[in-house]
Amino acid sequence: MAIFGLWVINKAGGLVYERSFGDGLPHLTSNEYLVLAGTLHGIHAITSRLSPTGSSSGAHVISGETFKMNILLTATGTKFVLLTSLVEPTADSMLQKVYEIYADAVMKNPFHTPEMPIRSEAFDTRITTLLG
């Protein structure tokens, strides 16, 4: 029952936002994060073509023994990834809320450049209120 981290990946596979919560996650270098995000982007693209019955939106959850990655793919191709403990029933609704905050604080902010790293104080604060 814990949330460990949040990533936002743009439609080209670049990591535009990364936040860790608590001290659950080991510290990775920013380069490692970029590689992870790019790899996940690639895996996600392949899983969306794996469906045996019609089209699919790709992987929703990738889980390990101690944690899982919840992935939300939006209509514009931006991906939100939430790292949580295995039993986290609110993960999906949290991702929706993160998406909402992103739409408000990032997309409506005239000082944000699309597809570029997110440097919006309002986004940071509201994410902290929601997840921190």
Partner 1 sequence: MSYPQPHPRFSVLSNSSLSSAEHLSPASSSRFSLPSAPSINTATTPKPGVRPNIYDRPLNKTRNAEVSAAAFAFMFSEIVQYTQKRVSGINDLERRLNTLGYRIGTRVLELMAWRNESAAKAPKRETRFLPALMSIHTHVWRAVFGKPADAIEKSVENADEYMIIDNDPPITRNISVPRDMSSLSCSSFTAGIVEAVLDGLGFSARVTAHNTPNDQYPNRTTILIKLEKSVLEREEALKT
Near partner 1 by CB under 8 A: residue from 65, 66, 121, 129: 121
Near partner 1 by CB under 8 A: residue from 3, 123, 127, 131: 123
Near partner 1 by CB under 8 A: residue from 12, 25, 116, 122: 122
Binding region for partner 1 (CB under 8 A) out of 10-18, 52-60, 70-78, 107-115: 107-115
Taking CB under 8 A as the rule, does residue 12 contact partner 1? no
Binding region for partner 1 (CB under 8 A) out of 33-41, 46-54, 72-80, 101-109: 101-109
For 132, what's the count of Cα atoms within 13 Å in the CB-facing half-sphere? 8
Taking CB under 8 A as the rule, does residue 120 contact partner 1? yes
Q: Give the N- to C-terminal CA distance of the chain in Å, as an integer.
A: 13
